[in-house]
Amino acid sequence: MIRSVVLGAGAATPKHSVTNDQLAQKMETSDEWIVQRTGIEQRYIADSCETTASLGERAARLALKDCGLIPDDIDLIILATSTPNNTFPATSVEIQNRLGMKHGAAFDLQAVCTGFVFAMTTADTYIKSGQAKRILVIGAETFSRILDWQDRTTCVLFGDGAGAIILEAQECNGMMDDRGILTNHLRSDGSHKGKLYVDGGPSTTGTVGHLRMQGREVFKHAIGMIRDVVESAFEATGLDSDSIDWFIPHQANKRIIDASAKMLNIDSKKVVITVNQHGNTSSASIPLAIDVARKDGRLKKGDLVLIEAMGGGFTWGALIVRW
């Protein structure tokens, strides 16, 4: 059977990082509150020259370099983002142009913090159906542009960044020791819209709007939703928390990550946590965490990785991939 195998990965952050203490100079907050409630120590914030497209392009170029490919080797670009450069055209098409890619196709996909899981799953479906051979999957965000900097309950939580992976169609034997994506599970439930949303948009206010979140409500639902999709992934594969090498969750809050790992019986040594460095970068958080785990030598070829995310919509999803 055909599986989607990861060939390479890359990530990019804006030039400037902002610590909690720097935020505390501008608003009523503290390093102590932010670290205790979220685990976040700093985040990167794009300057006026940096955009979702420029960060996505940088991550894409590094992913291509990582596996020795050029843009012409790619058939399709899927960009997960909720902070596109423009309402249209799709930012993925701008990235395609920046890369000098003259063939193939590109589209954006919007599932907020679950965006990268939705994008990997969509890419896997294209590959398995034979419609694409090599896909560049990017998660890129500039959430700093949709934050209400007067609202301390949200603006301290998010950051900017981008990450990318390249998936290739490879013939495999159909067993669980194959490399590539072994299973994926997506969910959404629009009845929770009011708990995490942006209060603007082209068809409603005609403005970009600002992020609004009932943090405690989101927190309450997160753990159950993560359990739902991860258990589906374990059931579909016969794998379990002992068999996985690395747990790479969406990085929203260290307390959610710790509680999820505990509930799933995942050893804390297997959990990749980068929310301290990046804050919540929405669809970019998983590929940014992948990049950190690869660079520090933890994530290696052949390792079994459990990935999950939950976010606005609500949307939630999980996948298991052998690196």
Among 62, 123, 218, 244, binds ligand UT7 (CB under 6 A): 218
CB of 221 to ligand UT7, least distance (A): 9
Residue count, binding to ligand UT7 (CB under 6 A)? 19
Segment interacting with ligand UT7 (CB under 6 A) among 47-55, 176-184, 213-221, 299-307: 213-221
Q: Mark residues 278-297: x for contact with ligand UT7 by CB under 6 A, - for none.
A: --x-----------------
- Neighbouring residues of 14: CB distance < 8 A, sequence distance ≥ 6: 44, 45, 46, 47, 50, 55, 160, 161
- Whether the upstream peptide bond of residue 158 has omega within 30° of 0, thus cis, is no
CB atoms near residue 77 (< 10 Å): 28
User: Catalytic site residue 280?
Assistant: yes
Q: Mark residues 100-139: x for contact with ligand UT7 by CB under 6 A, - for none.
A: -------------x--------------------------
d(CA 159, CA 58): 17
Beta bridge partners of residue 61, listed in sequence order: none
| The one catalytic residue among 20, 85, 253, 280 | 280
d(CA 59, CA 195): 31
Residue 32 token pair: 């102590």
Closer residue to ligand UT7 (CB): 84 or 311:
311
User: Catalytic site residue 172?
Assistant: no
User: Catalytic site residue 113?
Assistant: yes
d(CA 256, CA 158): 15
Half-sphere exposure of 50 (CA within 13 A, CB side): 23
Question: Does position 33 bind ligand UT7 by CB under 6 A?
Answer: yes
Question: Does position 216 bind ligand UT7 by CB under 6 A?
Answer: yes
Are 81 and 108 in contact by the 8 Å Cβ rule? The answer is yes
CB of 308 to ligand UT7, least distance (A): 12
Query: Contact positions toward ligand UT7, by CB under 6 A?
Result: 29, 33, 37-38, 113, 152-153, 156-157, 215-216, 218-219, 222, 252-253, 256, 280, 311
Active site residues: 113, 250, 280
